[in-house]
Amino acid sequence: MAPNEFSRLGTWVRQSVTLRILSIAFLIIILLIPLTLIQGLIRDREYRLEQATTDVSSTWSNAQQFAGPYITIPYVVLLETTDGEIHEQTRHLYLLPDSLIITGTVSPEIRHRGIYQVTVYRGDLHISGRFSPPQPELLNIDRSSLRWNEASMSVGIPDLRGIAERVNLQFGDTMQPFEPGLPTHDLHESGISTHLPISQEWRGPIDYSFDLMLKGSGRISFIPTGIETRVGLSADWPSPSFDGSFLPDSRNVTDEGFDATWRVLQLNRDYPRQWIGASYALNRYDFGVTLLLPVDHYRKSRRSADYALLIISLTFLVFFFLEIRQRKRVHPLQYLLVGLALALFYALVLALSEHWNFAGAYISAAVATIALVTGYVGAVFKTRELTIMLGGLLVLLFGFNYVLLQLEDYALLVGSIGLFLVLAFVMMWSRNIDWYRLSEDPDDDSF
């Protein structure tokens, strides 16, 4: 290739607007690498928090689900085999209470594992209600086949390490201590049970009650076993999340704590008062409350990083127009350095938010990033007016990003309107540019 051809090629490379646009687009694609690494870092820190929660729960107690109480009565059926022999088989009748009333307070605590915080609690529960006698004839069971002397009352509790005090059942006029273990595992894998002093002559309803001191982590929930189930909870925790199959009928949440009440009827579930064997899944009807930590910086950091490519692209776009307007070449490396500074902002937010509230971390990281970028731009363009304009633009972009983080339900609407306005501004600002003449004659003023 002749020297003049090299010269013409070099001139075209320096003056081509299209090539500059393509190079900027390529740099944006390159910046996806650090942005992806930062998003992976956020996921890794979230995983570390989950591991810290698991570690604390493994030494304290896991989330607790109170399931019960219910009565188990074994009975015998005679079965004939294919060769004509008769043998006995033991089956179990399960009886749920007419009423279940649970009242109590939950006392949350914060435990630390490294820099991570984990919510644990102590629940002081009082359980009471009434049982009516079974009606085995409705299930085609001979009343005389029931083994009344082997009847027991059970309560499903997933983590028995959480039981902090002995549990004694008041059943009618008798007091019975609960023991670990369940007579069967048809309904639950873990729990406590006690023998019941009932007989075939049981005809009228019997009241029951007991107190339960229960430790757990994060969430406490209940299964509505009563024909009518009422639960009332209170705690000095300002950020509860009511979840499960039923929300509270009434609740009051303040900065000092919350109190909530639930009322669930038998008609609200698909299992009856009595049945045989493992016929129904009770767990899917649980309800309760999760004690959320008042910080959710990982989720906000992740959502903030979702807008990173947008902020970098808009900043590069402004850079591009300033480059054209000032007739000053900006090297791709300078674009890359600015893009890396903007990408590092999200790592700063993540790191600071682990030791500070998210708002303070975001503002501090934004101020540092804006100061770094505007200072660098001022050194490149050496124009105070443009430096101030770019700094103001970055303030608007970071402020807009923060507003989107607060408006979870309306983020799409507000974000779409904001982008539409930005596009409209860019179109209006660039409407008089003659892009062809700009590429041919760099000294021509096309604005």
Task: Indicate the pLDDT class of residue 224, thresholds 50, 70 and 90.
Answer: very high
Structural domain span for residue 325: 17-47+298-440
pTM, entire model: 0.70
Mean pLDDT lowest for which of 50-54, 241-245, 428-432?
Answer: 428-432
Q: What is the mean pLDDT of the chain?
A: 82
pLDDT at 177: 94
pLDDT tens by residue, 4-40: 555 555 554 555 666 677 777 787 788 778 878 878 8
pLDDT at 320: 76
pLDDT at 445: 44
Domain stops at, among 271, 294, 317 = 294
In a domain, 273, yes or no: yes
Q: How many CB atoms sit inside 10 A of residue 128's CB?
A: 17
In a domain, 4, yes or no: no
- 195 and 305 in a single domain? The answer is no
In a domain, 54, yes or no: no
Who wins on pLDDT, 366 or 167? Answer: 167
Who wins on pLDDT, 385 or 431? Answer: 385
- 355 and 250 in a single domain? The answer is no
Mean pLDDT lowest for which of 89-98, 338-347, 375-384?
Answer: 375-384
Mean pLDDT lowest for which of 235-244, 354-363, 409-418?
Answer: 409-418
Residue located via tokens 């081509």: 16
Residue 258 burial (CB < 10 Å; 0-12/13-18/19+)? buried
pLDDT at 333: 80
- 406 and 304 in a single domain? The answer is yes
Buried b (16+ CB within 10 A) or exposed e, 186-223: bbbeebbbbbbebeeebeeebebebbbebbbbbbbbbb
> Which CATH number is 229's domain given?
2.60.40
pLDDT at 104: 92
Residue 344: name the closest of 376, 390, 379, 383 by CA. 376
In a domain, 412, yes or no: yes
- 279 and 356 in a single domain? The answer is no
- 337 and 397 in a single domain? The answer is yes
Who wins on pLDDT, 251 or 77? Answer: 251
- For the segment 34-59, the average pLDDT, to the nearest whole number, is 77
- 243 and 257 in a single domain? The answer is yes
Mean pLDDT lowest for which of 204-208, 262-266, 415-419?
Answer: 415-419
- 114 and 243 in a single domain? The answer is yes
- 372 and 282 in a single domain? The answer is no
Cis peptide before 69 (omega within 30 of 0): yes
Separation CA 199–CA 147 (nearest Å): 9
What are the residues whose beta carbons fall under 8 Å from the beta carbon of 258, sequence distance 6 or more?
A: 234, 235, 237, 238, 240, 251, 252, 289
Mean pLDDT lowest for which of 138-147, 157-166, 380-389?
Answer: 380-389
* Confidence check: pLDDT of 225 > 90: yes
Q: Which of 142-151, 195-204, 210-219, 401-410 has the highest mean pLDDT?
A: 210-219
* Confidence check: pLDDT of 230 > 90: yes
- For the segment 292-311, the average pLDDT, to the nearest whole number, is 74
- 285 and 320 in a single domain? The answer is no
pLDDT at 97: 95
- Of all residues in the chain, the percent with pLDDT exceeding 90 is 29
- 238 and 376 in a single domain? The answer is no
Domain stops at, among 294, 326, 357 = 294
* Confidence check: pLDDT of 198 > 70: yes
In a domain, 3, yes or no: no
Domain stops at, among 243, 269, 294 = 294
- 122 and 180 in a single domain? The answer is yes
pLDDT at 435: 58
* Confidence check: pLDDT of 222 > 80: yes
Residue 379 burial (CB < 10 Å; 0-12/13-18/19+)? exposed
The total of structural domains in the chain comes to 2
- 191 and 314 in a single domain? The answer is no
* Confidence check: pLDDT of 436 > 90: no
pLDDT at 129: 95
pLDDT tens by residue, 157-183: 999 999 989 999 999 889 999 999 999
Residue 92: name the closest of 71, 115, 113 by CA. 71
In a domain, 55, yes or no: no
Task: Indicate the pLDDT class of residue 105, thresholds 50, 70 and 90.
Answer: very high
Task: Indicate the pLDDT class of residue 328, thresholds 50, 70 and 90.
Answer: low
pLDDT at 434: 61
Separation CA 369–CA 416 (nearest Å): 25
In a domain, 228, yes or no: yes
Who wins on pLDDT, 99 or 299? Answer: 99
Task: Indicate the pLDDT class of residue 306, thresholds 50, 70 and 90.
Answer: confident
* Confidence check: pLDDT of 447 > 50: no
In a domain, 236, yes or no: yes
